[in-house]
């Protein structure tokens, strides 16, 4: 039978590009997009779309039965900065949506799950440089706590019930098709929009805050690669470390200044600085390289070029 894929949270920053990439690979009608709101034109017009609340098990079960879904990509989540403002809402959304999908797989209503984790699973006591796959994890944010708990549940459902769930700890993601919403790494997207529109940007993190980042094309490539590989290659069932580049806001500004010479950056750190300070500055992803052949294509210079070219009016 042909596989039928459901993306939950299809209108978000990752969901939009993932839906389009999956539609390209498996055909428009085999990839069902869903979200609690409608998304951009490209997404809405390229294939089936359902309004769906990921925390509503019955509604989810109905969509899965109707389209005979075999794989679910659960991209709906409240990100780090917003989650600090609405802790209970974030916990409920991030955890209940995951349980709903894991339980569907446990009941054998779906075969395979992708669920994203994040560098936010690490905390202030984690080694900051070249952070290993397995290390101290004491997340200090609501979002990080939900992702770390989620990882433990994924691992548990795999070992206890044989659920084929696969996951990546995404770094900050940089993209031009859809804006990120409510994250701490959002500055790395906003900066390009402001550089083009106003030639200046006020960053909410300090100049020297180094964080792991990735261009969206790499994130999509990794996701499809991990979902494609044979189950026995997936040795990590919590979530894989994944790395592409690391930089600070001031290094990012320098890379933009190579194209927009009069671009200026200033710094007004807010509450997001403490979140960023609790996260690693670089990630060791040797397990992803070893198990399913991961390798990034985009560094900062290439990312800047792509972003400025695609966002230019
Ligand atoms: N980019 C996310 C955030 O900043 C991290 O997963 O919240």
Three-state DSSP string of 11-30: CCHHHHHHHHHHHHHHCHHH
Query: pLDDT (tens digit, 9 = 90+) per residue, 67-116?
Result: 999 999 999 999 999 999 999 999 999 999 999 999 999 999 999 999 99
Give the phi and the psi of residue 245 in degrees, each rounded to 5: -155, 160
Mean pLDDT over residues 268-280, rounded? 98
Q: Domains in the chain, ordered, with CATH?
A: 5-172+214-241 (3.40.50.720), 174-213+244-283+298-311 (3.90.25)
**pLDDT value for 282:** 98
Residue nearest ligand 1's atom 1 by CA: 172
- Annotated catalytic sites, by residue? 143
Ligand 1 atom closest to Cα of residue 184: 4
Whole-angstrom Cα distance, residue 269 to residue 287? 34
Residues touching ligand 1 (Cβ under 6 Å) are: 79-80, 118, 120, 143, 170, 172, 183-185
- CA 175 to centroid of ligand 1, rounded, Å: 13
Residue 189 pLDDT > 70: yes
Burial class (CB in 10 A: 0-12, 13-18, 19+), 115: buried
Contact 43, 49 (CB under 8 A): yes
**pLDDT value for 1:** 54
Whole-angstrom Cα distance, residue 8 to residue 98? 11
Residue 265 pLDDT > 80: yes
Which of 118, 211, 239 is the best mutation target for the ligand 1 pocket, counting ligand atoms within 8 Å of the beta carbon and taking the most? 118
- CA 159 to centroid of ligand 1, rounded, Å: 28
Q: What is the pLDDT of the chain when averaged over all its residues?
A: 97
Q: Lowest-confidence range among 1-5, 106-110, 194-198?
A: 1-5
Output the CA angle 113-60-49, nearest 5 degrees.
90
Which of 180, 203, 273, 276 is the best mutation target for the ligand 1 pocket, counting ligand atoms within 8 Å of the beta carbon and taking the most? 180
Please give the residue that has the higher pLDDT: either 181 or 245: 245
Ligand 1 atom closest to Cα of residue 182: 7
Contact 186, 180 (CB under 8 A): yes
- CA 5 to centroid of ligand 1, rounded, Å: 25
- CA 1 to centroid of ligand 1, rounded, Å: 36
């Amino acid at each position: 039978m042909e596989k039928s894929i459901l993306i939950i949270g299809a209108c978000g920053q990752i969901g939009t590009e993932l839906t389009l990439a999956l539609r390209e690979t498996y055909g428009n009608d085999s990839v069902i997009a869903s979200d609690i709101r409608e998304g951009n034109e490209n997404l809405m017009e390229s294939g089936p779309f359902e309004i769906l609340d990921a925390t509503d098990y019955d509604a989810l079960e109905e969509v899965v039965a109707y389209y005979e879904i075999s794989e679910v990509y659960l991209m709906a989540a409240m990100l780090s900065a917003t989650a600090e403002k609405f802790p209970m809402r974030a916990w409920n959304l991030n955890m209940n949506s995951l349980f709903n999908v894991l339980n569907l797989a446990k009941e054998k209503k779906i075969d395979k799950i992708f669920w994203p984790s994040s560098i936010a699973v690490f905390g202030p006591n984690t080694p900051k440089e070249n952070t290993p796959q397995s290390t101290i994890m004491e997340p200090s944010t609501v979002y990080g706590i939900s992702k770390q708990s989620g990882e433990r549940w994924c691992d548990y459902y795999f070992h206890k019930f044989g659920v084929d769930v696969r996951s990546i700890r995404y770094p900050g993601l940089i993209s031009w098709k859809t804006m990120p919403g409510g994250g701490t790494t959002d500055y790395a997207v906003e900066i390009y929009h402001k550089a083009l529109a106003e030639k200046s940007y006020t960053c909410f993190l300090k100049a020297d805050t180094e964080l792991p980042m990735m261009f969206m094309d790499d994130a999509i490539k990794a996701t499809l690669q991990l979902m494609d590989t044979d189950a026995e290659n997936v040795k990590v069932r919590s979530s894989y470390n994944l790395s592409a580049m690391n930089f600070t806001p001031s290094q990012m500004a320098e890379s933009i200044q190579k194209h927009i010479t009069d671009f200026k950056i200033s710094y007004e750190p807010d509450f997001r600085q403490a979140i960023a300070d609790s996260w690693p500055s670089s990630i060791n992803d040797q397990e992803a390289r070893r198990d399913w052949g991961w390798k990034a294509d985009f560094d900062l210079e290439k990312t800047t070029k792509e972003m400025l070219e695609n966002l230019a009016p």
